[in-house]
Chain A
Amino acid sequence: MGEEKGTDGTFEARLKSARKRHGMDTPAPGQDSARDSGNALGVGLRVGVELVSALVVALAIGWGLDRWLHTMPLFLVIFVLLGGAAGVLNVWREVSPPSVPRRKQ
């Protein structure tokens, strides 16, 4: 059994290399690869920008509210937490698979 499994493994490997040689295993150009613009750097930059921009907006709102109501650290603290959550929400909407109904982007 063990020996059979071994030969099976090598057959699988040979089949895989043969398929690769003939270009049969190339992944179909899905929607994901089209959106990814082809490089990991782009994805990383996009996700980072989404995270940071939500935090920047939340910081601005919190700071403005505190300045207005003279409650200095209160709203800043609350909105930093909310901004972090909004950043994660942005990232999720960015990278969630298209099969999930994207009601809102």
Chain B
Amino acid sequence: MAGPTASWLTFTQANIIMVIGAGLVLWLLYFGAKPKAVVPGRWQAAAELSHDFIYRMAIDQIGPEGKAYFPFVFTLFFFVLMGNLLGLIPFSFTYTSHIAVTAALALMVIVIVTAVALREHGLKFFTYFFPDGAPVFLAPLIVPIEIISYLSRPVSLSIRLFANMVAGHVMFAVFASFVVMLGGASILGAVGAAFPLAINVVLMGFELLVAALQAYVFAILTCIYLHDAVHLH
């Protein structure tokens, strides 16, 4: 084991995949957007579609102010998407399956959202925790509940992504272990091992869907939180 200082400096598997993921996104977008053809090729179409998809999502969810936050949402979406997708490659590593990574992302989101709200509304932001028209004598009950609800956002945001990724990979591991155990049993078992193997093939397709969906959910929830921060009520 490394010493206390060196353990902070180690460059792990997760970091390598993060760098690869970020590099892949930059590579896709830079060389995809480079031709600037009027009739886009496949690569350029992919780059433009991914840009427009997130751009429309930001505008739809946040409103016209969403333009300012589009780069943030775009980066977040593609970082999570690359983490989920690269993790499905055998011998790779899913960095979004670590709560440390997802919690750091969710904390970043909530700090930025709160900072945006404070910048836009100043101290009026704190009226967010008490809905208009509610009876004042209920304030001691409503305000703590609203604050807990607000603070639970980063927790649920990070747990949702982390749990989905872990659950998918655990299912892969369970069915793959069935293949190994049955395959080692007997000639009959080797035939039976085809079934869990087939299930794993189907699961791979399902996990591709989950990977894209969870990245989308992460991005759209960030947009919804930004909407609340910009519009408050």
Q: Are A105 and B224 in contact (CB under 8 A)?
A: yes
Interface size classification for chain A: 20 to 34
Pick from B144, B146, B213, B228: contact of A105, CB below 8 A.
B228
Q: Assess whether A52 is interfacial by the CB under 8 Å rule.
A: yes
Interface size classification for chain B: 20 to 34
Per DSSP, chain A at the interface is helix
Q: Name the residue among B145, B148, B156, B224 with the largest chain A CB count within 10 angstroms.
A: B148
Which B residues from 152 to 179 make CB contacts under 8 A with A? 152, 155-156, 159-160, 163-164
Q: Are A53 and B213 in contact (CB under 8 A)?
A: no
| In the complex with contacts A104-B131, A105-B228, A56-B155 CB distance below 8 A | yes
In angstroms, Cα B233 to Cα A45, docked, is 28
In angstroms, Cα B170 to Cα A18, docked, is 44
- Cβ distance B217 to chain A, nearest Cβ, rounded Å: 8
Per DSSP, chain B at the interface is helix
Using Cβ atoms and an 8 Å threshold, which residues of chain A touch B146? 86, 89
- Cβ distance A65 to chain B, nearest Cβ, rounded Å: 11
| In the complex with contacts A50-B156, A104-B128, A45-B149 CB distance below 8 A | no
In angstroms, Cα B148 to Cα A90, docked, is 10
In angstroms, Cα B225 to Cα A84, docked, is 22
In angstroms, Cα B224 to Cα A52, docked, is 21
Q: Assess whether B151 is interfacial by the CB under 8 Å rule.
A: yes
- Residues in A lying within 8 Å of B, measured CB to CB: 37, 45-46, 49-50, 52-54, 56-58, 61, 79, 82-83, 85-87, 89-90, 93, 103-105
